[in-house]
């Protein structure tokens, strides 16, 4: 056996350090090479076009496609009232995608819809492996889920679950303010049932620092970041509207409304601080619900209001009432969006209403000539 001299021992340590250093250099170089290659690959998972080539139901008339890349929505417009058509329907489609990306579909050229409320999703994988989910909506002469039968369990800011309208946030044309008031365990807009029929109930509440929280249901998106950054302005929490290109003459709604006992007007003591308290004063009159629809063209700025139909009502009979409300057209411009709003207190966004004012809505339907 070779004698282990001090010189030999030191030389082995030095060689080990050198060898280990070489390994580390090679390993780090390898990692950097992988990262460099990954950076060179595109992260683009966009749709550039979405073509509908054929429809299984020959009675359905396709109009056009519109892409919303920010929301990852594919809007397919049809001339029909799809609630009156036979489902399922199959669409032969051609997604046109980013270079070097790929579509992940069970059938790359076919989408199947079981009903007009369904939203079909699919993924696009970018060259670098990044994924983006796209959602395909059937846009037609009626709004999806306008009988308010679809709800899902959503987790609020307080960590508890509550019912939110639609099958998910990203797959619903409707929204509520429930997420904003969930921190106070208040959910003003909720489903109720009468036998097999599901309706929506909106109730004005009062919670901790907020003397009036009117329940709302609207087409559009609840903007949580807007609510957090502008807590003294309820309107900042709402992004109204959903794609719509049709021109109804009126809408039909079945509803019931009961006004709360004490109508009051609240005012912020400090207009910049929601926690600075309110002054509250009782006012004469009776609380009213609000039900209205606004047709708009948003192709250019400023937005053009095309038509409006409004219903404001105090307490109604005990039974559900059916009303037909006509649109008043003020422009010949074609609509691109519609905003439909229900509120349990007409002026709730101005901190005015009556606690326990309750609006129940069975369905909402557009009428055409």
C-alpha span between 94 and 52 (Å, rounded): 7
Residue 339: pLDDT over 80: yes
Mean pLDDT of 120-141: 93
pLDDT at res. 144 = 96
Tell me if residue 193 falls in helix, strand or coil. strand
H or E element in which residue 311 lies: strand 304-313
Q: pLDDT confidence of 147, banded at 50, 70, 90? A: very high
Beta bridge partners of 77: 64, 139
Find out whether 39 and 63 touch, Cβ atoms under 8 Å: no
Find out whether 78 and 138 touch, Cβ atoms under 8 Å: yes
Find out whether 62 and 80 touch, Cβ atoms under 8 Å: no
Find out whether 357 and 260 touch, Cβ atoms under 8 Å: yes
Higher pLDDT, 328 or 36: 328
Mean pLDDT, the chain, rounded, equals 87
Residues 45-86 have pLDDT tens digits of 889 999 999 999 999 999 999 999 888 999 999 999 999 999
Least confident residue range of 30-39, 91-100, 273-282, 312-321: 30-39
Residues 231-250 have pLDDT tens digits of 666 666 678 999 999 999 99
Residue 18: pLDDT over 70: no
Residues 156-196 have pLDDT tens digits of 999 999 999 999 989 999 999 999 889 889 999 999 999 99
Tallying the residues shown for the chain, one arrives at 369
Dihedral angle at the C-alpha atoms of 319, 322, 328, 332, nearest 10 degrees?
Answer: 140
14 Cβ contact partners less than 8 Å away, ≥ 6 residues apart? none
Nearest to 219 by CA among 243, 251, 199, 201: 243
pTM summary value: 0.84
In angstroms, what CA-CA distances link 118 with 83, 87, 172, 173, 211? 12, 11, 9, 11, 38
203 Cβ contact partners less than 8 Å away, ≥ 6 residues apart? 188, 215, 344, 356, 357, 358, 359
Tell which CATH architecture fits domain 47-139: Sandwich (2.60)
User: In this structure, how many other beta carbons lie within 10 angstroms of the beta carbon of residue 50?
Assistant: 19
Higher pLDDT, 273 or 328: 328
In angstroms, what CA-CA distances link 290 with 67, 93, 185, 348, 361? 32, 41, 24, 10, 12
Q: pLDDT confidence of 4, banded at 50, 70, 90? A: very low
Q: In the chain, where does DSSP find H-type helix? A: 6-40, 178-181, 224-229
pLDDT at res. 41 = 81
pLDDT at res. 228 = 65
Find out whether 267 and 365 touch, Cβ atoms under 8 Å: no
> Where are the chain's structural domains?
47-139, 151-367
Residue owning tokens 């082995």: 12
> What superfamily would CATH give domain 151-367?
BT2081, beta-jelly-roll domain (2.60.120.890)
Residues 76-130 have pLDDT tens digits of 999 999 999 999 999 999 999 888 888 887 666 899 999 999 999 999 999 888 9
């Amino acid at each position: 056996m070779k004698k282990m001299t001090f010189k030999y021992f030191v030389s082995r340590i030095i060689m080990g350090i050198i060898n280990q250093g070489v390994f580390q250099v090679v390993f780090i170089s390898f990692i950097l090479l992988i990262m460099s290659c990954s950076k060179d690959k595109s992260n683009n998972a966009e749709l550039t076009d979405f073509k509908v080539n054929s429809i299984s139901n020959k009675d359905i008339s396709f109009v056009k496609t519109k892409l919303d890349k920010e929301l990852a929505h594919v809007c397919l417009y049809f001339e029909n009232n799809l609630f009156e058509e036979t489902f399922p329907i199959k669409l032969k489609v051609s997604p046109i995608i980013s270079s070097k990306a790929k579509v992940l579909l069970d059938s790359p050229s076919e989408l199947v819809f079981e009903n007009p409320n369904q939203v079909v999703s699919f993924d696009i994988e970018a060259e670098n492996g990044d994924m983006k989910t796209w959602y395909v909506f059937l846009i037609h002469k009626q709004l999806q889920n306008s009988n308010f039968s679809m709800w899902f369990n959503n987790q609020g800011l307080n960590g508890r679950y509550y019912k939110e309208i639609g099958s998910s946030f990203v797959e619903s044309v409707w929204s509520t303010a429930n997420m904003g008031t969930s921190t106070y365990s208040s959910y003003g807009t909720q489903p109720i049932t009468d036998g097999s029929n599901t309706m929506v109930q909106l109730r004005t509440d009062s919670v901790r620092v907020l003397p009036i929280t009117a329940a709302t249901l609207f087409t559009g998106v609840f903007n949580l970041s807007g609510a957090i950054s502008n807590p003294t302005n309820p309107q900042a929490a709402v992004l109204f509207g959903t794609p719509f290109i049709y021109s109804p003459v009126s809408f039909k709604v079945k509803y019931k409304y009961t006004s709360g006992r004490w109508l009051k007007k609240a005012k912020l003591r400090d207009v910049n601080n929601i926690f600075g308290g309110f002054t509250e004063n009782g006012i004469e009159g009776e609380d009213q619900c609000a039900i209205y629809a606004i047709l708009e063209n948003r192709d250019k700025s400023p937005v053009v209001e095309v038509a409006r139909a409004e219903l404001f009502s105090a307490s109604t009979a005990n039974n559900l009432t059916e009303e037909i409300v006509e649109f008043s057209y003020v422009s010949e411009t074609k609509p691109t969006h519609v905003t439909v709003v229900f509120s349990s207190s007409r002026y709730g966004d101005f901190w005015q209403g009556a606690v326990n004012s309750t609006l129940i809505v069975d369905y909402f339907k557009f009428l055409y000539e």
